[in-house]
Each structure stands twice: as structure tokens, then as C-alpha cells.
Amino acid sequence: MLTRRTALTGIAATIILLTPPAPVRAQPGPQAVTFVQVTSGQLVTIVNSADSPQEKRRRLRQVVDATVDVDDIARFCLGRFWRIATDDQQAQYMALFHDLLVTNIASHLGEYQGVRVTMGLARTSTDTEIVITTVERPKNPATQVDWVVSTSSGNPKIVDLLAEGTSLRLTQSSDFTAYLARHQYNIHELIEGMRQLIAQNP
């Protein structure tokens, strides 16, 4: 069956960074940096709140829908198999990917109680800003997490996270490809696997 990946907030789930990285600059674009600062602050507030799991999940979905380009990530993760999926399968996959992303985030909230995010510098490419942050959890070593923010549409959207240099959406894409390979590249089987994983974490 499908497996879940443990990473900061599970946004994954999610690279435009296939070109050589641009030099780090001391004065990064304020839009992307402010966007990441506000978004990470919202996530930390939800994680550290005393809300019920159901309320946290509802608030998480609002943040994810507003700040993450989920559709772009979903298509990227399915890769070449997107073209062989029927219209109905594409629609089911998209809806389930949204649910799976929130499920992954919610299932790891307890691990990030007391989390703090410290802003760092940023580097830029043609249409993305990579904002560097340090994530600190009690009794855990600090972790560098880079937020890949697309600005091509005019409104900043998260399109990937790099956890210690590993692209989360590339990782998720590899998981889906491996799963499909084990199931004769049957899109229906992937959809059912996603559905089962979501059902295990209501």
C-alpha cells in the first residue's frame, strides 16, 4: 500500500529547482519572504493551539488551500501517468490528493508541538524564490527547510519544500511511480490506495 512521508507539515507533498541554484543574496525578495513568514506562523499557531484534532484539520485545510499550489504539485507527482488517466480518474485523483495532503499534515501535528521557525536568507531563480528557514523542535536537532515559492502567477504559492536538501514533491512522485509499477501502472489501483490511506486517518 501507499506509505506516508514524515516532513515539516507534510506539504509535500512537492521541482522547479532543476537548474543550478542562484547565488544567495542578502536582500531577498520581500514578497516571498513575508509570505513564508506569515504562512509558517499560521502553521505554528495551529500546531501549538489547544484546538481539537478536527478543528486543527479544518484550519489546516484553509491554510493549505490558500498557500499551496496543490493542483500543480498533484500533476507533477503523477508525472507522465496523468496523460493516461481518464477524465474521471484525474478528477478523483485531484480530490484525493488534496485530502491526502491535509491528512499527512494532520497525522504529524503532535510531533511538532512547541515548534519554532526561524527565517533565513533566500535565493532566486526565474520564477521562484527559495526561502531558507530553520525548524526547531524540543529534544530534536534543528532542521533546515527551504520553502520553494512560485511567483509566476503574481500571487505567491508554495510548490515544494526541501527538507535537508531533499525535495518532498520529487520524493512523493517517486513513491507514486513505484506504487504504480507494482500494480501494472493501473491508475485505479493508485486511487484506491490513496483512498485507503485517507480512511486510515479520519
pLDDT at position 107: 75
Angle value at C-alpha 178, between 175 and 181, nearest 5 degrees: 150
| Inter-residue long-range contacts of 53-58, CB under 8 Å, 24+ positions, other chains counted | 53/106, 53/109, 56/106, 56/109, 57/102, 57/106
Domain boundaries of the chain, sorted by first residue = 8-199
SS3 166: strand
Question: Could you give the residue ranges of the DSSP H alpha helices within the chain?
Answer: 30-48, 53-67, 70-78, 87-107, 168-182, 187-199
pLDDT digits (tens, 9 = 90+) for 36-81: 888 888 888 888 888 888 898 889 889 889 999 999 999 999 999 9
**CATH superfamily placement of domain 8-199:** Tgt2/MlaC (3.10.450.710)
pLDDT digits (tens, 9 = 90+) for 150-202: 887 778 899 998 887 889 889 999 999 999 999 999 999 999 999 998 888 76
Q: What do you get for the CA distance between the two ends of the chain, in Å? A: 17
SS3 145: strand
pLDDT digits (tens, 9 = 90+) for 11-39: 333 222 222 233 333 344 567 888 888 88
165 or 91: which leads in pLDDT: 91
